[in-house]
Structure 1
Amino acid sequence: MDIRECLPRDKFDYEAVRKLSEFSDVELKVIIPELMEWLQDGNWPISKPVEDLLLRLGEDLIPHLKDVLKTQDPQWEYFILVGLIDRLPVSHLSMLQTDLVRILESPTPDEVLEELDGVILELLEKIRETNER
């Protein structure tokens, strides 16, 4: 069965997420971009289960997270920051430090409106605290 046939079809498609959880991490890696799209709105019912699924993939998420942080879609950035990125181990979070600092120091007008700075400051503090240990 092609893994793409199991992708969610709507924001309530828990069954699709359950089926995807049965695939190996290697198989899931090929659909990371499609799964990331289900995190565009953290209010969608399946966003949390999709986050849980993606967290299994660890470091393989980093390039995809960087892509979202460059989309100029501040709502998607926000939901990624407070959902998936906030749940990453600090070792993976550190890989996003340059991107987080960019948003903090040179935000787009929409990123300012979305108030991403507060979320980013908390994430950077997490990194700093770990580095001081």
Structure 2
Amino acid sequence: MPRHKHDLERVELLKKQPIEKLKPILPEILEWLQDGNWPIAEPVENVLLNFEEELIPYIREIFSTNEGCWKYFLLHGLIRKLPDYTLKELKADLNRMLNTPTEDEKQEEIR
């Protein structure tokens, strides 16, 4: 796991790990997307793109929090890169944010 927001070396090591080894730590990897301005955010997204549908429960869990900033960066980063068939799984969540946003989503202007 990365140790800090500039730890590109550790992200490279993540890329080399077998997918089965990363599955149990997906929630911890997703934490590195809390700020899309961090240098490791995009490389971490690229690691996570290998999981697609396996990410859905973890993304839904994040969407159920009051972490508007994290939701914003997920929407404008990782989620934009997911294939359509995976996005269909998030349709209800995305519609809810669009039609009845929570206070944190309104503050972050999530739309």
TM-score between the two structures when normalised by the length of structure 1: 0.81
Aligned residue for 2:91?
A: 97
Distance in 1 of aligned mates of 2:52 and 2:98: 24
- Percent sequence identity over matched residues? 48
Distance in 2 of aligned mates of 1:63 and 1:110: 20
Alignment of 1:33 with 2:11, yes or no, is no
Aligned residue for 1:60?
A: 54
Which AA in structure 2 matches 1:99?
D
Aligned residue for 2:39?
A: 45
Structure 1 residue corresponding to 2:102, chosen from 108, 114, 119: 108
Distance in 2 of aligned mates of 1:31 and 1:113: 30
Q: Which has the larger radius of gyration?
A: 1
1:102 Cα deviation from its structure 2 partner: 1.1
Corresponding residue SS for 1:115: coil
Corresponding residue SS for 2:30: helix
Aligned residue for 1:11?
A: 5
* Greater length-normalized contact order (CA 8 Å, ≥ 6 residues apart): 2
Gaps of 5+ in 2: none
Aligned residue for 1:127?
A: none
Distance in 2 of aligned mates of 1:87 and 1:20: 19
May I ask how many residue pairs the two structures share in their alignment?
111
Which AA in structure 1 matches 2:80?
D
Aligned residue for 2:79?
A: 85
Q: Which deviations, in whole Å up to 9, do the C-alpha atoms of 1:9-50 show, x marking residues without a partner?
A: 000111111111111111111110101100000000000000
RMSD (Å) for aligned C-alpha atoms: 0.8
Distance in 2 of aligned mates of 1:13 and 1:113: 30
Gaps of 5+ in 1: 1-6, 118-133
1:110 Cα deviation from its structure 2 partner: 2.1
